[in-house]
Every structure is written in structure tokens, then in C-alpha cells.
């Protein structure tokens, strides 16, 4: 499975930890984020990440910025993208089960690296429940 990842300068350290974690599990990573801590504009990393998921080059995406808000807003401009901002395990589970989210958004300045690695595992291991949730998800796109 291929995972697209994008980050601004606030998420660089976490991104490298996520990549290492996922590569040990056999995932292929498409890295669209910055590799430095130098300030950069998050849309420059988030748009290509969302495009990779939108076009099927990646199954899922993971995006990071300081608060997560800008990254999530940017990704959700793409058709077919359901990026969810999550800062605890329950939100990660629910966004996969109920919203069929395909991009996990992480607020890097508000969570620990250990939490983030747990979020990633939960996100990738949780399935969409479908049913009544499918009807709702089908109504999201404009």
C-alpha cells in the first residue's frame, strides 16, 4: 500500500518518524513535504499529497502542520478527499468508521510523536463501516 505524506516545517520531525515507522511495516511512501525546519507555505506540500490520493497514486494520505487546520482546509478543497483533523485515538477511529476519511491530518504542535504513531496505525487499521454512514459520505461532495 502506498501512503502520501505532506508537511510544512512544523511537521518535519514527525514526518520522518512516521516514514520510518511505516517503512518497517512494508508501506511505500510518497514524500511531498519539506525535509527541513525552514519556514514554508503548507499548501505547497498539501496539494500534491491530496492529489496523489485523489488520483489513486496513494491509497491514503497523512498531512501535518502546526495546528492541522490549514493543512486540512487545503486538502479538503480536492474532490473526493475527506481529510480529518485528529488529536486523539477516538477521533481517528470515528473518522475512518463513520466518515471514510482518506487523509489523516495531524496538529504537530499539540500531540507527541508516540501519539502520532498510534494515530497512524489506528487510521490504517480501521475500516469504514458503510451502511447509514455511506449514505452520509455520499452527500459530502459538491
Q: Please identify which of the residues 9, 21, 65, 78 carries the catalytic annotation.
A: 65
Annotated catalytic, 142? no
Q: Is 93 left (phi over 0), alpha (psi -120 to 50) or beta?
A: alpha
Q: Please identify which of the residues 9, 78, 86, 98 carries the catalytic annotation.
A: 98
DSSP string across 76-141: TTSTT--EEE-SSHHHHHHHHHHH---EEEEETTSS-HHHHHHHHHHHHHPPP--THHHHHHHTT-
Annotated catalytic, 65? yes
* Residue tagged 517503512 (cell numbers): 23
Beta-carbon contacts of residue 13 (< 8 Å; ≥ 6 apart)? 37, 113
Catalytic residues: 65, 98
Amino acid at each position: 500500500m502506498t501512503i502520501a505524506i505532506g508537511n510544512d516545517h512544523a511537521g518535519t520531525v514527525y514526518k520522518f518518524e512516521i516514514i520510518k515507522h511505516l517503512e518497517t511495516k512494508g508501506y511505500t511512501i510518497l514524500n511531498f513535504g519539506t525535509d527541513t525546519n525552514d519556514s514554508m507555505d503548507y499548501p505547497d506540500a498539501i496539494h500534491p499529497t491530496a492529489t496523489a490520493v485523489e488520483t489513486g497514486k496513494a491509497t491514503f494520505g497523512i498531512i501535518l502542520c502546526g495546528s492541522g487546520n490549514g493543512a486540512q482546509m487545503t486538502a479538503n478543497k480536492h474532490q473526493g478527499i475527506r481529510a480529518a483533523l485528529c488529536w486523539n485515538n477516538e477521533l481517528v477511529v470515528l473518522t475512518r468508521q463513520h466518515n471514510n476519511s482518506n487523509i489523516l491530518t495531524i496538529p504537530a504542535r499539540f500531540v507527541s510523536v508516540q501519539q502520532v504513531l498510534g494515530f497512524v496505525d489506528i487510521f490504517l487499521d480501521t475500516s469504514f463501516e458503510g451502511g447509514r454512514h455511506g449514505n452520509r459520505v455520499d452527500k459530502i461532495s459538491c
